[in-house]
Structure 1
Amino acid sequence: MTADTTNATATPTASPTAGRAKPSAAEIRRRRIRRQLAQGWKAFSANTPGLIGLIVLLVVIAIAILAPVLVPSSTLDVTKVTAKAFEAPSSHALLGTDYTGRSLLGMLVWGARASLTVGFTATIMSTVIGTLIGMAAGHFHGVTQAVLMRVIDFFLVVPSLVLAITLSSIVGASLLTIIISIGVTSWAGTARLVRSETLTIEARPYIERAWALGASDWHIIVKHVLPAVMPIVLSNTTLAVGSSIIAESTMAFLGLGDPMVISWGSILKSAMDTGAATAGYWWYVIPPGIAIVIVVLAFTLVGRALEAVVNPTLRER
């Protein structure tokens, strides 16, 4: 009797999870994203070349943003320049001067601003176009797929730089024209990549279950395909920025850019127009060329490191 009374009056031990609210679906999703980002950063930081490339890019981007502070635009005004033309590098002008007496170091700083702006903006435009068309070409079938594939094949066969130069020469020379020309002509590679990834994703069992439950095309693309292709799109975008910078420099060198905007390509063009290369003024040609190589190499290193994060098999190699 005593034992029964004791058992009846004993207070049950509280569970460790009693009174604790279960996390919502949104909270679970946020935790999973944070965990994936932490794992991705750990894998990226283990890639030494990629980390060096990221540091270089951050420094160049900071210089481009702070260009008005580091080199006031008034110092590059040809009406206020007091230095001699084609002055060799010295303590007064660390990288020498151009044919008007402007500091080439200051021009490189402002050139980073224009070149990076074109690189990022044109790449974002081409990535958006390529991702949308690639997902549509991989998701839909029949006539829609056939038409989209023929359009993609056309832009793949014809070099994007040739199309960009043609479009820019028709519309007119300006920085905006270069951005649009590069953006609307260099998306085919991204579209091919996204289409291939879309076909792989839609062959998975959970997509078949979603179809069986009555999911629409919009639901499949937005809720399942788009989040799955974003990692590979991100790594491809990083590589595409370098290509856009090279394309901008080429078009500016050919005189298709805005002559009033300083970019690395326009510096090389002015060096060619004034005969600096043949006259032995190496400081007019080498610094902008090195700047282009360093930035493009940094984007390539970061892109390769992101590819290793997205594709673990590359990491194992």
Structure 2
Amino acid sequence: MSGSSLVWRRRRATAARLGRAYLAQRAGLFGLAALVLTGVLALTAPLLVDPDIREVTGAPGEPLQPPGGRFWLGTDQFGRSLLELLLIGARVSLAVGLLAAALSVAIGTLVGIVAGHYGGWCATVLMRVTDWFLVMPTLVLAIVLATVLDRGLGTVVLAIGVTSWPTTARLVRAQTIAVEARPYIERARALGGGDRHIMGRHVLPQVMPLVLAQTTLGISAAILTEATLAFLGLGDPTVISWGGMLQEARAAGAVSSGHWWYLAPPGVAIALVALAFTLCGRAIERILTPEPGAGR
């Protein structure tokens, strides 16, 4: 058996073992089921909703109509179905959360591996920059970036991604230092392995489980941050998102007028999806760092 096939065999066995361990996490399974359902609804939303749902004129319902037989979740201030708006908004909120979390984890992983591998002045500089981002409130930095840059989903993703990576960087750096202290890293160096080879072929695969857990947890934080930015009027006004629905409900006076059905659907959706991602992330963490009695 060749060396590459042996490596892939071990990786498949590890993946199967992690899958069986995840199936023992009841909370993680609940979160995963909720995410799969949400993802399916978001992907099929264009087939389920009216193509003209984004138009504010000629809506099929009465403005601010309470939940009923025709409109299960009621209507907004323009008479549009809140259920259809919720399905369309799921696409934007999930996409922003996934992209922002991926950007954040990518930056944090790169900084952490480089700082942990090279050490010395390079680690000092990178960690001081990381500390600066850690002491600055993430939401404040995201608001500043979203204010000075052009409005759009790209700006929101950038604002969230470049302000939420420090935690990942510190965790990955610590894991990198632990991995590079193992004997096989010394053997790789003795055999002529360069820095890029060691970081890419030996260190990165070892820190990937930690990166996966951080990505899952980061998505929920990114969705909440996107909703906050949209609620503050800093999102893209041309797209429908859950945060944008909350901002429109606030602007329409839903709180003072008692139109609770205008606020409840996007708020509950944000909370449930954030909880589902958190449950998945915690389940992965428990698998990677098992505690006595975990999974019972």
TM-score w.r.t. structure 1 length?
A: 0.90
The amino acid across from 2:155 in the alignment is T
User: Relative to structure 1, is the Cα distance of residues 41 and 217 closer, same or farther in structure 2, using a 3 angstrom cutoff?
Assistant: same
Structure 2 residue 223 is the aligned partner of structure 1 residue 245: yes
Report the Cα distance in structure 2 between the residues aligned to 1:243 and 1:138, rounded to whole angstroms: 26
Report the Cα distance in structure 1 between the residues aligned to 2:24 and 2:293, rounded to whole angstroms: 10
1:171-182 equivalences under 5 Å are 171-182=149-160
Write out per-residue CA displacement over residues 177-210 of structure 1, whole angstroms, 9 at most, x where no aligned residue: 1011111111111101100101111111221222
CA contact (8 A) 2:100 2:161 kept: yes
Aligned position for 2:256:
278
Report the Cα distance in structure 2 between the residues aligned to 1:253 and 1:83, rounded to whole angstroms: 25
Report the Cα distance in structure 1 between the residues aligned to 2:45 and 2:188, rounded to whole angstroms: 51
Report the Cα distance in structure 2 between the residues aligned to 1:284 and 1:314, rounded to whole angstroms: 45
Report the Cα distance in structure 1 between the residues aligned to 2:15 and 2:3, rounded to whole angstroms: 18
Write out per-residue CA displacement over residues 277-316 of structure 1, whole angstroms, 9 at most, x where no aligned residue: 1100000011111101100000011001111222234764
Structure 2 residue 65 is the aligned partner of structure 1 residue 87: yes
* 1:28 Cα deviation after fit: 1.5
**Percent same amino acid among aligned pairs?**
49
* 1:142 Cα deviation after fit: 2.1
Structure 1 runs not aligned, ≥5 long: 1-22
The amino acid across from 2:51 in the alignment is S
| Aligned partner (choices 168, 185, 210) of residue 207 of structure 1 | 185
CA contact (8 A) 1:308 1:315 kept: no
TM-score w.r.t. structure 2 length?
A: 0.96
Asked which structure has the greater RCO (Cα within 8 Å, sep 6+), the reply is 2
Aligned position for 1:42:
20
CA contact (8 A) 1:135 1:194 kept: yes
| Aligned partner (choices 196, 217, 235) of residue 257 of structure 1 | 235
User: Relative to structure 1, is the Cα distance of residues 308 and 127 closer, same or farther in structure 2, using a 3 angstrom cutoff?
Assistant: same
The amino acid across from 2:250 in the alignment is M
| Aligned partner (choices 126, 147, 172) of residue 148 of structure 1 | 126
SS in 1 for 2:73: coil
1:1-317 equivalences under 5 Å are 23-313=1-291, 316=294
* 1:77 Cα deviation after fit: 2.2
Report the Cα distance in structure 2 between the residues aligned to 1:199 and 1:306, rounded to whole angstroms: 22
Report the Cα distance in structure 2 between the residues aligned to 1:312 and 1:274, rounded to whole angstroms: 48
RMSD value over aligned CA atoms? 1.3
* 1:25 Cα deviation after fit: 1.9
Report the Cα distance in structure 2 between the residues aligned to 1:120 and 1:76, rounded to whole angstroms: 23
Report the Cα distance in structure 1 between the residues aligned to 2:10 and 2:50, rounded to whole angstroms: 46
* 1:76 Cα deviation after fit: 4.1
Write out per-residue CA displacement over residues 147-205 of structure 1, whole angstroms, 9 at most, x where no aligned residue: 11111111111012111110110012221110111111111111011001011111112
CA contact (8 A) 2:231 2:244 kept: yes
* 1:121 Cα deviation after fit: 0.5
The amino acid across from 1:157 in the alignment is V
* 1:26 Cα deviation after fit: 2.1
| The structure with more radius of gyration | 1
